[in-house]
Structure 1
Amino acid sequence: MQSETKSRVDQLTSPAGHPVSVLRFEGDIASTSKEAVLGTYQALAKDKYKLILLDFTKVDYINSSGIALVIQMLIEAANSGQKVYAYGLSPHFTKVFTMVGITKYAGLFPSQDAAMAAL
């Protein structure tokens, strides 16, 4: 049974002093997650937040429709001149994200600290 996708946004500051938005997801990401994934991203002020972290540490499962939503979000971010870094993926989903080409649009890191260090 699919669990509802929850999301929230936290604001951090990069080591260089730039604002960073952290989109934190929880549950399963699937076709029903459009508002939680795209809606949360699209609500960000694109001109203010050029650095985005995607936190997948509490995501249990991502199906192909969910991966498509993540890709759509990453393309929008690239078109807006934003840099995106993802972390907290299981080894399986790190491999899947790499295989489908998500690494062209986002760096993948094991933890928030590792992602922040790359900013």
Structure 2
Amino acid sequence: MSLAYSVDTRGSLAIIRLSGLIDRDAGTILEQAYTAALDSAPETVELDFTDVEYINSTGIALIVSLLARARAQRLPTRALGLTAHYQHIFQITRLSDFIEIVQTADTGQEAAR
């Protein structure tokens, strides 16, 4: 299964819902998803990992690239739906220093207000 995405907006929040695998083949899809999210001129981007089955080390590197792009654009980015395992991975790789990890969609919606 490859990576798929959909983009939704709630006010100034663009939500990228990801599903499938984030591995070496996901780079183009992640870039397309991020570019599509920018169409709504969001103030914040939320990556929803709820339906992501697997992220390998190359996938982590792709996420780092996406976060670098967002940071260069001064666009706050947050992660939703990470399993405890991937929350831990984000912490030990220090990704959590550059992306806010939220626990529920409600938290993300409240922050967008």
Do the structures match in fold with TM over 0.5?
yes
Identity %: 26
Matched, 1:21 2:14: yes
What does the per-residue CA deviation read over 1:56-113, in whole Å, with 9 as the maximum and x for residues that have no partner? 0000110001111111101100110100111101000000011111112110011111
The code of the aligned residue for 1:39 comes to Q
The code of the aligned residue for 2:3 comes to T
Q: Which runs of 5+ in 2 are unaligned?
A: none
The alignment partner of 1:59 has SS state of strand
Q: Which runs of 5+ in 1 are unaligned?
A: 14-18
The code of the aligned residue for 1:37 comes to L
Distance 2:67 2:43 in 1: 12
Distance 2:39 2:63 in 1: 17
Superposition TM-score, scaled by structure 2 size: 0.91
Aligned length, in residue pairs: 112
Aligned to 1:7: 5
Matched, 1:116 2:101: no
Distance 1:110 1:57 in 2: 10
Moved over 6 A (4+): none
